[in-house]
Amino acid sequence: MSPRARRTAFSLVLFFTACGLAGMVVSQRVGAQSAGDESQFRDSLKSFTSVYNLVAENYAEPLNADMPDKTIYDGAIPGMLHTLDPHSSFYDPKAYAKMREDQHGKYYGVGMTIQPQFIAGTQKIVVVFPYEGTPSYKAGIHPGDIIISVDGKSTDNMNSEQVANLLKGPKGTHVSLSVAREGSAAPLTFDLVRDEIPHPSVDLSYEIRPGIGYIHITQFQETTGREVSDAVNAFGNLKGLLIDLRGNPGGVLVEAVAVCDKFLRRGQVIVSQRGRAFPEQVYRATHGDGRQDFPIVVLVSHSTASAAEIVSGALQDHDRALIVGETTFGKGLVQSVYPLSDDTGLALTTYHYYTPSGRLIQRNYNGVSLYDYYYNHDQPQDLKNREVKQTDSGRTVYGGGGITPDVKIDPPKSNHFQDVLAAHYVFFNFSKHYLVNHSITKDFQVDDKVLADFKQFLTAQQVAYTDQDIAGVLDWVKANIKAELFTSAFGEQQGMRVRANWDPMINKALEYMPQAASLEETALRDAAARQAAKNSGPQAE
């Protein structure tokens, strides 16, 4: 067994021993650890060490380079944790750094989104868009620019993560980029100075209809509560608010609580945590909404999870918002992250989330494969076997399977032609081609001439189509052309607005604002009645 393999095995034994000691500490809170349990744990460690030694000595290929780490980080530890539940997980150094970056909502670099594309048989890294106000944006990096090299190092056949790591670095340091741009005869060189790159969780906030605000929250990080509060305050006198939580995977619990605190009355329960080894924790609104009375619609999807489900469940249980869209993911297991040595971490399930009415958010995962648990969400749920609870006004809601929307809105399904256009990055590539010889203003519309140019581009790119293909999804085609052109010409925010204005689910959700207003009126009336009853109760004399 090589010295490296021995060190890796030894580190793993130490890791399991630390987990075992932590488990013993937890067990002491809820009951004594038996001698038999301790003996069984030691036997398990011996068995694992024996298996690892056998593999290291006899496997067909030597366990060198990164193989020992991969067997531990990608194999043994995740395998152990997944026997407990789907969400307890291990962060290797890269994943741990990324998790902390996501929580902080900032990093140091040049500020752009990039993606790989195969061009002339070689994988190239293409700029999707620079973040507004960042070094790359100020320097004039454009969507569609192909990054040829970073600090003189060719990026051919690199993946996005490898190039992103080259672009990141300490604040104030320089990085040189060479890019190819359509319409430019020679590569362009940019000397960028790295800076702090904020990555806000509210990536779009604007008045989508007169008096109606729209907020899209990508995840819950350390700045989300403040971001949402700032966005709502900036709208002024709101007549309604649409909160878009589609695709939001969750994040920092206290920030979900802060968002709810903005919309609920002071003292109302937001969420409770219940675990085996720790006392129940109940989170309440500590500040309250300051008597801001406007209807709220929350738009959710199958991939709305965790902290985003806390927000959805709390606003639904208190009749403060109408929830529309799809049934959410159903992640109600709370992971506490324990930092370990060598910049690694362990996310261990320690609590379950419950909504104010007492609903368990977590979906059943017993007897379900990891693939089906994460990706096969479309089977209808049997409401008969789910716990039944009531909102403040007596509406029926169900627990144990995510947040069931008050109104179901199905997402649009793409056809084969749409899938082909997406696979070829057609709209993205057309925008950089079109802007070489055209300029646009903010009153730009996709007219017949633009469509004719688009069809010529499809032909040049050897993308098969018929006029019937385009006519069948004409609104979608026009929206995507306009969105990509606006992103290139005016920045990411303007492109996102174009997509949101077209989005069928958003437009359908806005139709339910009157129903949300009725729900809000009922909630206010019930709250006033409860307060009056409390005030008119027996008085001591």
Task: Output the six-digit token pair for 138.
Answer: 């100020």
Phi and psi torsions of 150, nearest 5°:
-125, 120
- State the pLDDT at residue 22: 44
The residue among 330, 384, 318, 225 whose CA lies nearest residue 524 is 318
CA distance 90 to 147: 33
CB atoms within 10 A of CB 282: 12
Please give the C-alpha separations between residue 482 and each of 76, 415, 417, 450, in angstroms, as whole numbers: 48, 20, 19, 10
The residue among 164, 102, 108, 163 whose CA lies nearest residue 135 is 108
- State the pLDDT at residue 72: 62
CB atoms within 10 A of CB 17: 13
Q: Which of 261, 317, 319, 406 is catalytic?
A: 317
408 included as an active-site residue: no
Q: Which of 88, 178, 205, 306 is catalytic?
A: 306
pTM listed for this prediction: 0.81
Contacts of 376 (CB under 8 A, 6+ apart): none
- State the pLDDT at residue 159: 93
- CA atoms within 13 A of residue 83's CA, in its CB half-sphere: 5
Calculate Rg over the CA atoms of the chain.
27
Phi and psi torsions of 331, nearest 5°:
-105, 100
pLDDT block averages, 10 residues each, the chain of length 541: 50 48 42 52 58 64 64 64 68 70 74 91 93 92 94 94 92 95 93 92 97 97 95 94 96 94 94 82 89 90 95 96 95 76 72 91 78 65 76 90 94 96 94 94 97 97 96 97 96 96 98 94 77 68 47
- CA atoms within 13 A of residue 60's CA, in its CB half-sphere: 0
Cβ(314)–Cβ(264) below 8 Å: yes
Task: Output the six-digit token pair for 37.
Answer: 């349990």
Q: Which of 331, 389, 432, 478 is catalytic?
A: 331
301 included as an active-site residue: no
- State the pLDDT at residue 275: 77
CA distance 168 to 175: 9
Give the angle subtended at the CA of 506 by the CAs of 215 and 402, to the nearest 5°.
Answer: 80
331 included as an active-site residue: yes
How, if at all, do strands 188-193 and 174-180 pair? antiparallel
- State the pLDDT at residue 145: 94
The amino acid that residue 78 corresponds to is P
Task: Output the six-digit token pair for 394.
Answer: 């007596």
CA distance 319 to 317: 5
Task: Output the six-digit token pair for 519.
Answer: 């729900």
- Residue 531 DSSP one-character state: H
- Residue 360 DSSP one-character state: B
Q: How far from chain centre, in Å, is Cα 70?
A: 26
Task: Output the six-digit token pair for 233.
Answer: 């305050």
